[in-house]
C-alpha cells in the first residue's frame, strides 16, 4: 500500500469553469531567465503550466563537433553561467575519463591541480547558492537578502578575478588540470573570506529562513516526494530537498572528494514550522546548509595545505582514443552529465550534455497544478534553474 502523501496547499478545481491562458515571460523577472510559461488559469488557480524553452539556445552540442576539446571549454561557461567553474570541471572530467583509457596518453591530473579544482569548485558552489538565496527572497518580496547576498558573492568574484582574470565565464579548469596557479596572497584571502562568511549564513537564516512570511509562502507548497523526483530525473538540492541523501561527491566520489569529511543536508518535516520534506522551503534550506558544508571542505584544504608541484598534466595534444564515455559530476544545481563519442581525432564526433536544470524544470507542470499564480513564483525560485543550461 502506497504511503500517504504529505499535506499540500492544493486547491480543488471546479469541473466547469472559464479558462484563461496567460503568458508569463519570457521577460518576467521571476522566471530567472528567458523562460515562458503558458498558464491556464481558472481565476487565480493554475490548471496547467506549460514551459516553453529555447529562447537561449546556442547550438552548443553541434558547435562542439567542430572544435577541439580545449576550445569547447569556454562554451561550457555559457551553460550554467552562475556556476561556470563547475561546468568547466564537469566537461574536463569526461574528457579525462576518455583519455584515461589509454594510460600512455594521460596519467592523471596533478595533485595540486586537483586541490585547486575542489577549492575553486566549492567557492563557486557558495557563490551560486548565494545568488539563489538572494533572488529567491526578492521573488517573494524580501529585498534586503538580495543586497546582502550580492555583497558577499562579490567577494568570491574578486577571488576568481585574481586567479583567472574573469568574473563570470572563467575558462579556468582545463583538460589535465587548471590554467593558472594561485597568485601571491590568494590562499590567505580565501581563509579570510570563509572566516568572515561562515557566521553570515546564520544571519541570513535569521533574516529569511525563519521569517514567518517567507515560511507561509513556501511551506507545503509544491511538495515533490522522492518518488516523483526520481521519476523526473531530478538531482542535486531539489532531490535532497525531497529527503533523499544522495550526493555524487560522497556516494560516487570523483577527483579527490573522498579525502574530505562533509555532511549531505536533506529536507525533512519540521512540524513546529509547518514545513514538510520536498516543499519549496526545504529545497531552499538545503542550499543554505550546503554553503556551510562547502566551507567545511575548503577549511580542510587550507588546513592540510595545497601540495607543491605542477597544476597541469603534460600532454602534447588532447586526442582521446576511439570510444565513448558518460561522466557525471555534482554541480550546484544537480548532476551534470557529459556524453562524448571520440573517433581518435582532436574533435569529438558527438557531444551531449545532461542538464540538471532541464530535469528540474520538467517537473514544474505537475508541481504547479491546482496552486495559485503567486505560488508559481515560489516554485521556480525553489528549483533554481538557469536557462543557459536548460537551452544550451
Strands of 323-331's sheet in order across: 323-331, 334-342, 350-354
Residue that finishes a domain, picked among 52, 73, 97: 52
Same domain, 314 and 372: yes
In this prediction, residue 14 carries a pLDDT of 58
Tens of pLDDT, residues 287-314: 999 999 999 999 999 998 889 989 988 8
Contacts of 37 (CB under 8 A, 6+ apart): 23, 24, 25, 31, 49, 50, 51, 52, 364, 376
Run of H or E residues at 337: strand 334-342
Run of H or E residues at 374: helix 373-383
Same domain, 128 and 35: no
Same domain, 141 and 48: no
Same domain, 38 and 76: no
Same domain, 159 and 235: yes
Q: How many domains does the chain have?
A: 2
Least confident of 81-90, 105-114, 219-228, 263-272: 105-114
pTM: 0.91
**Residue 330 maps to a domain:** yes
Least confident of 3-17, 45-59, 231-245, 327-341: 3-17
**Residue 15 maps to a domain:** no
Same domain, 43 and 69: no
d(CA 143, CA 134): 8
Helix axes 280-304, 111-139, angle to 10 degrees: 150
In this prediction, residue 25 carries a pLDDT of 75
- The angle formed by the CA atoms of residues 365, 371 and 375, to the nearest 5 degrees, is 90
d(CA 136, CA 204): 13
Same domain, 39 and 138: no
**Residue 256 maps to a domain:** yes
In this prediction, residue 34 carries a pLDDT of 87
As a whole number, mean pLDDT of residues 207-216 equals 92
Give whole-number Cα distances, 70 to 57, 295, 306, 338, 352, in Å. Answer: 21, 30, 25, 15, 16
**Residue 132 maps to a domain:** yes
Same domain, 46 and 114: no
In this prediction, residue 7 carries a pLDDT of 55
d(CA 137, CA 217): 11
Same domain, 260 and 357: yes
d(CA 266, CA 288): 11
Residue that finishes a domain, picked among 10, 33, 52: 52
- The neighbour count for residue 310, using CB atoms within 10 Å, is 14
**Residue 335 maps to a domain:** yes
Contacts of 192 (CB under 8 A, 6+ apart): none
Q: Which domain holds residue 40?
A: 20-52
Across the chain, mean pLDDT equals 89
Residues pairing with 41 in the sheet: 20, 46
Tens of pLDDT, residues 14-36: 565 678 888 887 877 777 778 88
Residue that finishes a domain, picked among 30, 52, 74: 52
- The neighbour count for residue 261, using CB atoms within 10 Å, is 9
**Residue 4 maps to a domain:** no
In this prediction, residue 26 carries a pLDDT of 81
**CATH number of the CATH domain containing 321:** 1.10.645.10
Share of the chain above pLDDT 70, in %: 95
For residue 358, pLDDT over 60 is answered with yes
Amino acid at each position: 500500500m502506497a504511503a500517504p502523501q504529505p499535506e499540500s496547499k492544493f486547491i480543488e478545481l471546479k469541473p466547469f469553469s472559464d479558462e484563461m491562458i496567460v503568458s508569463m515571460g519570457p521577460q518576467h523577472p521571476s522566471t530567472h531567465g528567458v523562460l515562458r510559461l503558458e498558464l491556464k488559469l481558472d481565476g487565480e488557480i493554475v490548471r496547467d503550466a506549460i514551459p516553453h524553452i529555447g529562447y537561449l539556445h546556442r547550438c552548443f552540442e553541434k558547435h562542439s563537433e567542430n572544435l577541439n576539446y580545449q576550445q569547447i571549454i569556454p562554451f561550457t561557461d555559457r551553460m550554467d553561467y552562475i556556476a561556470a567553474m563547475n561546468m568547466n570541471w564537469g566537461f574536463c572530467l569526461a574528457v579525462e575519463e576518455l583519455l584515461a583509457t589509454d594510460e600512455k596518453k594521460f596519467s592523471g591530473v596533478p595533485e595540486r591541480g586537483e586541490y585547486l579544482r575542489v577549492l575553486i569548485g566549492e567557492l563557486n558552489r557558495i557563490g551560486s547558492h548565494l545568488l539563489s538565496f538572494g533572488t529567491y527572497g526578492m521573488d517573494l518580496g524580501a529585498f534586503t537578502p538580495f543586497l546582502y547576498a550580492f555583497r558577499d558573492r562579490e567577494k568570491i568574484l574578486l577571488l576568481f578575478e585574481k586567479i583567472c582574470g574573469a568574473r563570470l565565464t572563467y575558462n579556468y579548469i582545463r583538460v589535465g588540470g587548471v590554467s593558472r596557479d594561485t597568485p601571491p596572497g590568494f590562499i590567505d584571502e580565501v581563509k579570510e573570506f570563509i572566516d568572515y562568511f561562515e557566521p553570515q549564513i546564520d544571519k541570513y537564516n535569521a533574516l529569511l529562513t525563519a521569517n514567518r512570511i517567507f515560511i507561509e509562502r513556501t511551506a507545503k507548497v509544491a511538495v515533490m516526494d522522492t518518488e516523483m523526483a526520481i521519476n523526473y530525473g531530478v538531482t542535486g538540492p531539489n532531490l535532497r530537498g525531497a529527503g533523499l541523501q544522495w550526493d555524487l561527491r560522497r556516494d560516487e566520489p570523483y577527483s579527490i572528494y573522498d579525502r574530505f569529511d562533509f555532511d549531505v543536508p536533506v529536507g525533512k518535516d519540521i512540524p513546529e514550522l509547518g514545513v514538510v520534506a520536498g516543499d519549496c522551503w526545504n529545497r531552499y534550506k538545503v542550499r543554505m546548509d550546503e554553503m556551510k558544508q562547502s566551507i567545511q571542505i575548503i577549511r580542510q584544504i587550507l588546513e592540510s595545505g595545497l601540495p607543491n608541484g605542477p597544476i597541469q598534466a603534460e600532454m602534447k595534444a588532447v586526442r582521446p582514443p576511439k570510444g565513448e564515455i558518460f561522466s557525471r559530476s555534482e554541480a550546484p544545481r544537480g548532476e551534470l552529465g557529459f556524453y562524448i563519442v571520440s573517433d581518435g581525432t582532436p574533435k569529438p564526433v558527438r557531444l551531449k550534455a545532461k542538464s540538471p536544470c532541464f530535469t528540474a524544470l520538467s517537473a514544474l507542470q505537475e508541481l504547479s497544478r491546482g496552486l495559485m499564480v503567486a505560488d508559481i513564483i515560489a516554485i521556480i525560485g525553489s528549483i533554481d534553474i538557469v536557462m543557459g543550461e536548460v537551452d544550451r
